[in-house]
Amino acid sequence: MNAHDKPHGQHGDLKLGELLDALCEAGDLPLVFHYDGRPIRSGYHVTEVKAGQFSALDCGANPEAWSEIFVQLLDVEGDVPAHMAVGKFTAIVRKVSGHVKLDMGARLTFEVSDGQAPMQLFSAVALGIRGAAMHVELAARPARCKPRDRWLDQRARSSPCCNPAPAGQCCG
């Protein structure tokens, strides 16, 4: 990661508003998504932007509710030599927001497929300007256990190893 890259959000989840704010800094540079260790092809399309409101009961019997924005990317070769411009991507999101309520604080999920392989789910985990393009790093979205995540977060906050050790004591 270079100095322009910004990691985002808890568990690496970038929010829609964070993405759009960062893209404002990029002007009209090409927008390149990276997944599975490679950049998306220059002919990619944004095939859908959809908003969802979810209610669930997690494995600890805790009620959960959240909003999520899904951006579907079709990774195909095209007859264009350059990746989609940041301005075109943000115009697509603006057009969608004129018809669908998009929560800027919503979790952002990218659905990516090449049109042949099954769609895969990704989170945006870092973004930044490198060279003459805005790059967005996508990481596979693993399953999570929310009660376990809360327990681990609480444990990390209360661990004496997360606080400075008194003089003469070692944290180990």
pLDDT in tens, 115-171: 999 999 999 999 999 999 999 999 999 888 988 988 998 988 887 665 555 555 544
Question: What pLDDT is recorded for position 2?
Answer: 39
Q: What is the mean pLDDT of the chain?
A: 87
Task: Report which of residues 144 and 98 the model is more confident about.
Answer: 98
Question: What pLDDT is recorded for position 18?
Answer: 94
The token pair at 166 is 């008194």
DSSP of 16-29: HHHHHHHHHTTTT-
Question: What pLDDT is recorded for position 78?
Answer: 79
Determine the angle formed by the axes of helices 16-24 and 86-97, rounding to 10 degrees.
Answer: 140
pTM of the model: 0.82
Question: What pLDDT is recorded for position 36?
Answer: 95
- 120-130 and 133-140 strand pairing: antiparallel
Nearest C-alpha neighbor of 108 from the set 38, 7, 12: 12
pLDDT at 74 over 70: yes
pLDDT at 8 over 50: no
Question: What pLDDT is recorded for position 3?
Answer: 34
- What's the gap between Cα 25 and its chain centre? 17
pLDDT in tens, 30-69: 999 999 999 999 999 999 999 999 999 999 899 999 999 9
Question: What pLDDT is recorded for position 171?
Answer: 46
